[in-house]
A and B are shown apart, each in its own frame.
Chain A
Amino acid sequence: DVKVTQSSRYLVKRTGEKVFLECVQDMDHENMFWYRQDPGLGLRLIYFSYDVKMKEKGDIPEGYSVSREKKERFSLILESASTNQTSMYLCASSPGQRNSPLHFGNGTRLTVT
Chain B
Amino acid sequence: KNQVEQSPQSLIILEGKNCTLQCNYTVSPFSNLRWYKQDTGRGPVSLTIMTFSENTKSNGRYTATLDADTKQSSLHITASQLSDSASYICVVSRQAGTALIFGKGTTLSVSS
Residues of A bordering B, CB below 8 Å: 4, 31, 40-45, 48, 90, 92, 98-107
Q: How many contacts between A and B, using CB within 8 angstroms?
A: 45
Given A42-B89, A90-B43, CB of A99 within 8 Å of CB of B98: no
- B54 → chain A, closest Cβ, in Å? 10
Main secondary structure of the interface of B (DSSP, over half): strand
CB-defined contacts of B28 to chain A, threshold 8 Å: none
Q: Which residues of A contact B76 (CB under 8 A)?
A: none
**Binary per-residue interface labels of chain B (16-32) against chain A in the complex, 1 for a CB within 8 Å, 0 otherwise:** 00000000000000011
A80 to B98, CA, bound (A): 28
Contacts of B31 in A (CB 8 A): 98-99
Report if A99-B89 is in contact (Cβ < 8 Å); known contacts: A104-B43, A104-B44: no
How far is A103 from B42 in the complex, measured between Cα atoms in Å? Answer: 12
Instruction: Flag if B105 contacts A107 (CB, 8 Å).
Output: no
Within 8 A of A (CB), among B42-97: 42-46, 49, 51, 89, 93
CB-based contact A101/B102 at 8 Å: no
A–B complex contacts, Cβ < 8 Å, 10 sampled? A42-B103, A45-B100, A98-B32, A99-B51, A101-B49, A102-B36, A102-B100, A103-B46, A107-B41, A107-B43
For A106, what are the chain B residues with a Cβ–Cβ distance below 8 Å?
41-43
> Could you tell me if B104 and A40 are in contact, using CB atoms closer than 8 angstroms?
yes
